[in-house]
């Protein structure tokens, strides 16, 4: 394919760039130990994430105006407090727990791949995370973004068309000049339908051992790889 046309790589982040499950599990294991709260923190991470799509759906459907993901995460966390013995935490502690999403860590292959790609392409996040979340995560984990786009700058949630289209438009690019990089087939279906190039990275342990979706590329995406470094191998000679 004509890679020479591509100017920017647009990245899904949760699951594609960072390991949210592992990061939250590890941090909450430490936090739980300090607070003497003994729980299955991996299940906590999975349960918290399970409330993500339903929360966004209220906004996508128009039932609710746009609010940032930080706020949705906080509302969803509220639903889990009793189950996970967190109901006696202070508001400051809950704010700290909620911002664990600002401290997610990359998969091992992420930074080696992205740092090579950055020399040749504009790297932008097109995530459902809000700007502060993405900026803080990048500072925490050295993710080399050129720009943070996606949900908050477009005032919507993927897979709404406007999130992809507004991101390309802000970069002054046509969709065909942008490649969406994601570990989720749905994200790539939406992007391809709008004319974006697509790269799939397989993350079969995003949800842990029991993952049932996105175990492989469901379409002939423009690039299909196991690691971010595979995308770099393909695009950077």
Residue 6 found at the interface with a second copy (CB under 8 A): no
**Token pair 């799939």: residue:** 200
| Cβ nearer to a second copy, comparing 148 with 217 | 148
Interface with a second copy, residue 67, by CB under 8 A: no
- 147 binds a second copy, rule: CB under 8 A: yes
User: Which of 58, 129, 63, 120 has the alpha carbon at shortest distance from 99?
Assistant: 129
Of how many residues is the chain composed?
237
Tokens representing 28?
A: 């909450």
172 counts as binding a second copy under rule CB under 8 A: yes
- Among 37, 46, 94, 132, which residue interacts with a second copy (rule: CB under 8 A)? 132
> Per-residue x/- marks for a second copy, 107-126, CB under 8 A?
---------------x-x--
Number of residues that bind a second copy (CB under 8 A): 20
Q: At what angle do helices 52-60 and 41-50 cross, to 10 degrees?
A: 20
Q: Report how far residue 220's alpha carbon sits from residue 112's, in angstroms, rounded to the nearest whole number.
A: 25
**CB of 21 or CB of 166, closer to a second copy:** 166
Report the residue from 30, 93, 139, 218 that binds a second copy according to the rule CB under 8 A. Answer: 139
Task: Closer to a second copy by CB, 101 or 200: give it.
Answer: 101
CA count, 13 A, side-chain hemisphere, 44: 28
Q: Is 70 in the site for a second copy (CB under 8 A)?
A: yes
Residue 138 binds a second copy (CB under 8 A): yes
Nearer to a second copy, 147 or 194 (CB): 147
Q: Is 223 in contact with 231 (CB distance < 8 Å)?
A: yes
Instruction: Tell me the closest approach of the beta carbon of residue 143 to a second copy, in angstroms.
Output: 10
Q: Quick one: 37 or 132, whose CB is closer to a second copy?
A: 132
Residue 11, classified by CB atoms within 10 Å of its CB into exposed (0-12), middle (13-18) or buried (19+), is: buried
Burial of 136 (0-12, 13-18, 19+ CB in 10 A): middle
The token duo for 186 is 């749905």
Contact residues for a second copy, defined by CB under 8 A = 70, 122, 124, 130-132, 135-136, 138-139, 145-148, 152-153, 170-173
């Amino acid at each position: 394919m004509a890679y020479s046309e591509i100017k920017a790589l647009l990245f899904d982040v949760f699951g594609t760039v960072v390991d949210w499950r592992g990061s939250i599990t590890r941090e909450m294991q430490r936090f739980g130990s300090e607070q003497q709260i003994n729980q299955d923190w991996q299940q906590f991470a999975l349960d918290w994430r399970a409330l993500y799509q339903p929360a966004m759906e209220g906004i996508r459907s128009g039932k609710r105006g746009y609010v940032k993901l930080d706020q949705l995460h906080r509302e969803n966390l509220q639903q889990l407090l009793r189950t996970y013995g967190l109901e006696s935490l202070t508001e400051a502690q809950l704010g700290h727990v909620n911002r664990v999403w600002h401290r997610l860590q990359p998969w091992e292959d992420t930074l080696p791949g992205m740092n090579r790609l950055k020399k040749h392409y504009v790297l932008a996040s097109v995530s459902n995370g809000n700007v502060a979340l993405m900026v803080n995560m990048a500072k925490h984990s050295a993710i080399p973004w050129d720009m943070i786009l996606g949900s908050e700058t477009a005032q919507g949630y993927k897979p709404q068309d406007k999130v992809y289209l507004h991101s390309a438009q802000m970069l002054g690019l046509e969709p065909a000049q942008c490649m969406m990089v994601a570990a989720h087939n749905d994200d790539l279906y939406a992007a391809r339908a709008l004319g974006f190039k697509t790269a799939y990275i397989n993350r079969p342990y995003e949800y842990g051992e029991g993952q049932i979706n996105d175990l492989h590329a469901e379409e002939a995406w423009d690039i299909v790889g196991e690691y971010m470094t595979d995308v770099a191998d393909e695009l950077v000679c």
